[in-house]
Amino acid sequence: MSVLKPVRRGTARTAAVSVLVAACATLMTGSAGAIVNGKDATESYPFMATIPESAPRYGLFDGVCGASLIDPRWVLTAAHCVTGDGLRLEGAVRIGSDRRKSGGTVRRIDRTFVHPGYANGDTKAANRDDIALVRLDRPVLQKPVRIAKETGRAGTPTRIVGFGTTVDGRMEFSDRLRELDTRRGTESECAPGYADRTRLCTISTVPRAMACSGDSGGAQLQKGRDGRWELIGVTSGPGAPKVPCSKGPGLYTDAPAYAAWIRKTMRSVSARTPAEGGSDPAGTGANDSAAVLVGVASALVLAGAGTTVALRRKKAGRSA
């Protein structure tokens, strides 16, 4: 998804294909990258979040998935970003920065909730119910993005954002947030069996551009009636098998279609929320180092092979 343009600082595909096709496949099958042929972000996206991760067993290091802040203490991402064979989360989430490794606010991961129907397509089919919630250890001050009541019909202008790879076939991830103007496609514009009532076919308005490895979990946005961005999609992977990112189409989990599950999950946990603690009440990122260290110390190893992570490959790797 590297065809995106970087986001101005202070504003802002299931590409992790199978873990090496099983790990690499984890990237694109369930992951998307730093938007190929996108451009640097032109405005602020305070709700944009990143989830650092890796798959050392497969020689994959320094990976990343995108996510969207939908509540002061919750981010929405792709299921393949938080569960997969050999996938390891660093235990932290960075929110509100147009830089992949600095700025914004860093919080530790408290718990992850994967949709019970999730199934990874393993590069042979579309991921099913590719959506997950991540609960932060404490709230942040960045403004969440609202989930749209409904997704616009085919042809609706949309935008995707991410830190994924910017060049097809290379694990080169963007340090700057990038964006790409897109549109909602018809189901027939994606491969048969890919787009449906819970998966959105997405088409780039720019030649040879689309989300790629490392963009997985990130947002697809549309403008609401008030002119503000609202969330309609979660980057899941390619909209057709064995197609380079730049040739699209992309496939996005329809966020509004899962609104009931999202609300139910958040409410079931909120009643048990413990008293908040810690420093950095202003959400300035002053405690980034501590949060990352604690996160790494409590790194989570989860099971699943569809990580839409923009992972840097050391010796071998799998792509989105």
pTM attached to this predicted model: 0.76
| CA atoms of 319 and 242, how far apart (whole Å) | 11
DSSP per-residue string spanning 112-129: EEE-TT-B--TTTS--BS
Residues 6+ apart with CB under 8 A from 91: 108, 109, 294, 295, 296, 297, 298, 299, 300
- Give residue 9's pLDDT: 35
C-alpha to C-alpha distances, 244 to 29, 221, 223, 295, nearest whole angstrom: 12, 23, 28, 34
Cis peptide bond N-terminal to 249, omega within 30: yes
Residues forming a β-bridge with 22: 18
- Tens-digit pLDDT profile for residues 192-202: 999 999 999 99
- Tens-digit pLDDT profile for residues 100-153: 999 999 999 999 999 999 999 987 899 999 999 999 999 999 999 999 999 999
| CA atoms of 23 and 212, how far apart (whole Å) | 15
Q: Give the rounded percent of residues in the chain with a pLDDT score beyond 90.
A: 54
Residues 6+ apart with CB under 8 A from 270: none
Instruction: Assign 220 to helix, strand or coil.
Output: strand
- Give residue 37's pLDDT: 45
- Give residue 220's pLDDT: 98
| CA atoms of 48 and 183, how far apart (whole Å) | 20
Q: Give the rounded percent of residues in the chain with a pLDDT score beyond 70.
A: 70
Answer positive or negative: Cα dihedral of 154, 155, 158, 164.
Answer: positive
- Tens-digit pLDDT profile for residues 218-272: 999 999 999 999 999 999 999 999 889 888 899 999 999 999 999 999 999 976 6
| CA atoms of 267 and 214, how far apart (whole Å) | 30
Amino acid type, 50:
T
Mean per-residue pLDDT, 3-24: 36
- Give residue 39's pLDDT: 45
Amino acid type, 282:
A
